[in-house]
C-alpha cells in the first residue's frame, strides 16, 4: 500500500460544495482526524479557510483541505457526499480504518 496516496474527492462532493457556495465565500471543506469518538478516532468535517501546510484538493472551483497531522490517517480515502433517509452529509470511505462505528464519524486503525 502506498502511504503517500492522497485522498480522492468525488465529483458529487465537489458539486455539493458548489451548491452551498463554499468557494464563493472563500471557504473549503476541511477534513480532519482527531482522537476520540467511540472507536478511537473521529472525523471533524467543517467549512474553513485553507491554512499553511494544508493539502488542497481542487475540483469544479471548490476546495477540500486536509492538515498535515490528519493526512496520514486519510491515505487513499475517498471523500464523498451522500443523501440518505437519515440525512445528507459528507462521508469518508477510509481503507485505513480497521473498524468503524454506526455513526460513520468514528473509526479505529
Q: pLDDT tens digits for 32-91?
A: 998 876 777 889 999 999 999 999 999 999 999 999 999 999 999 999 999 988 889 999
Residue 64 falls inside a structural domain: yes
Chain position carrying cell 486503525: 109
Residue 104 falls inside a structural domain: no
Cα 103–Cα 105–Cα 109 angle in degrees, nearest 5:
115
Q: Which residues form the domain of 53?
A: 8-93
The closest of 3, 2, 9 to 29, measured between CA atoms, is 9
Residue 17 falls inside a structural domain: yes
Residue 1 falls inside a structural domain: no
Cell of 64: 477540500
Domain count, the chain: 1
Structure confidence at residue 97 as a pLDDT band (50, 70, 90): confident
Which residues are within 8 A (CB) of 87 and not within 5 positions of it... i.e. 6 or more apart? none
Residue 106 falls inside a structural domain: no
pTM of the model: 0.85
We report the CATH number of the domain holding residue 30 as: 2.60.300.12
Amino acid at each position: 500500500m502506498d502511504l503517500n496516496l492522497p485522498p480522492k474527492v468525488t465529483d458529487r462532493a465537489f458539486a455539493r460544495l458548489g451548491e452551498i457556495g463554499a468557494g464563493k465565500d472563500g471557504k473549503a471543506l476541511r477534513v480532519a482526524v482527531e482522537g476520540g469518538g467511540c472507536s478511537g478516532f473521529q472525523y471533524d468535517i467543517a467549512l474553513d479557510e485553507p491554512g499553511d501546510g494544508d493539502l488542497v484538493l481542487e475540483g469544479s472551483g471548490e476546495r477540500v483541505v486536509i492538515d498535515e497531522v490528519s493526512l496520514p490517517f486519510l491515505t487513499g480515502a475517498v471523500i464523498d457526499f451522500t443523501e440518505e433517509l437519515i440525512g445528507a452529509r459528507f462521508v469518508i470511505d477510509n481503507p485505513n480504518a480497521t473498524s468503524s462505528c454506526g455513526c460513520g464519524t468514528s473509526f479505529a486503525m
